[in-house]
Structure 1
Amino acid sequence: MFNYELSIMNCELSNHYHSYVINVANQGYWACCRKLIILQTVFIDLATFMNKTSNIIKGDSRGYGKVTLVGFGPGDPDLITVKGLKALENADAIFYDDLTNEEFLRRFEAEKVYVGKRSGKHSAEQDELNQRLYERAAKGDNVVRLKGGDPMLFAHGREEIDFLKSRSVEVEVVPGVSSGFALASLLQIPLTHRGLARSVAFVLGHGQKIQTPNADTLLYYMGGAYVSSIAKALLESGRSADTPAALVTNVSLPSQNAVYTTVGDLRYAVFRDTPVLIIVGEVVGFEAEPHAGKTLLFVDEKVDLSEVDKIRFSSPSSVETFRHIYSDDVPKRLLLLASDQETFDAISKI
């Protein structure tokens, strides 16, 4: 209907233009020329505007390609969706980051562009990435932005959509399995459970102020360096120190590992393995007891750390002894626990 109305307007404007030419023809040669030049300019500008408007309504992106945001899932390539695979197969270029599998990407003919982000430079790099996606689409390429997890959960998805759509680039989003959902299924920890948990919240695990939503189950993303801060915030908000918690790394991969603990123990804790998800809530208790692991109270002797998943330190001096014995050979998967702030400061340097 809109395009039909534009056609009618064009015809009417053309008729008015020729009528005006006849009316000014008797006003003298130079007067006629001046008015016709002005009128012609106005009509050209108006016609250009109407054509652009018509193209936008029809979805014409001036020969632009398309950008598809695809969720790769938590890490296991088998968990990507069929629709995501089809988008990769039809892509001219695939922009990927650290949370995807490079070996998996080799099966696709598209050009692969690594766009991993370094800590502290996310904002500037995101702006640059937005521009690069636009430039490839402007050349007519079908572009896939492959993201770990789901494109719309802690993934800058809407920022990319807004940037591209503001430049008339078509954008499609293909959902992916978020790491939080994968964690629940793979560890058999329900995010909700009748009579125990009726709400769940997904929370960013870092920032100036750690949020503690009033939900039964909490999932903290990207909080590895802030384990202690998260626990302290939870305790201050009223969570019991006995609330079960788990730190899960490399969800869905062969190297997946889970360390079970409590909010109270995490108050003075350091965990150095990444990427990590932290799940907090009574539902963790379903798996916490059978997989409690072994906690070592460190004394001044060397032990086999392969069978240990948590080490508790009673003083700064015990930390120094531990560092002297093990040097830099301390597995990152270990959860280091301190009894007080001073000891915590010491283990933070390991």
Structure 2
Amino acid sequence: MEFADRPATRLATRLAFLVAGFGIACWAPLVPFARDRLAVDEGTLGLLLLCIGLGSVLSMLATGALTARYGSRPVIVAGGIGVAFVLPLLTIAATPLALGLALFVFGASLGSLDVAMNVHAVEVERAAGRPLMSGFHALFSVGGFAGSMFMTFLLSLHLGAFESTVLCSALMLIAMFVARPRLLRAAQAQRGPLFVTPRGVVLLIAGLTGITFLAEGALLDWSALLITGKGIVAAAQGGVGYMLFAIAMTAGRLTGDAVTARIGDRATLVWGGVVAAGGFVVLLASPFAALALAGFLLIGLGASNIVPVLFRRAGAQQVMPAALAIAAITTTGYAGILVGPAGVGFVAKALGLETAFWMLLVLLCVVPCCAALVTAAPQRRAG
């Protein structure tokens, strides 16, 4: 396989992560336009939005097999182009069925891109012989900020939704055009089975990934209700908690590779889990508003590098093909984001929202407790 440790290849990997974050963020400001255009209620809209998750999960399962056989490059290119081409269609779908199908394909493109770019990132990082995964994941967060801001800016100029998405799609296509020749031609391509049942340390890594994403999804959907219900902020400022979490998450990932290189994967998982759990304690137990909000910063900083380390370990374990392992943990993580908030809602209804968040704290404590098991597994060597 061609030389993987070169600046051009790292740039291509970063562009793939950037496009993934940018693409999904461009859709978020368009949701009210879709609701008004189709004149659907919240229940129907919720079912339509579920099509993104369904498409993503199904494509993630298939992408592991495709990437294991053909390599990550063609899947990354197809996924990125798919996101760019489908995005404008979301603004002109004239019926709920048409929008549902478009959202399914949009989610499938995002899901396949997500898995393939992580497989590619594992290969590039292994060739470099030093941590790079946190920086790659930081570009996903940067893409999310850029996508939401750029789309909101275009819409605020009274540019039509279709025209706005065409401009955003053009930027994504340019990024994929730049990335394509610089991607590894056959990262992780191998002969062998197209499906292997997750087992051993991969199951553990998948579980920890699901827990981490579950906590992130709960913060996205429920943190505003928590802090407004506790009187920490007024209703109009309910989003400040997740904003602080997202800023800390991005900052933690931008510096995470240097931190991981210095202290190692095991310590990163241990201290990341401890700091994130401590952030929940501060958020839930502090009687002072400013200190409680600081808990979001601690959660974001602590959790920021847990998932990059887990992806690295999934790509380096020897129990099953790396591409299939990464597909498994990506699917589990996405399931955590989808199912987790609903689970929090059920617990909140029965026991209260604060109790549900205390349970998230307990779950997060599993991460540092299992760090030794995850990092003790035999790893593939760089080469």
Give me the TM-score of the superposition, normalised by structure 1: 0.28
Q: Mark the structure with the bigger radius of gyration.
A: 1
Structure with the higher fraction of residues in helix conformation: 2
Structure with the higher fraction of residues in strand conformation: 1
More relative contact order in 1 or in 2 (CA 8 Å, sep 6+)?
2
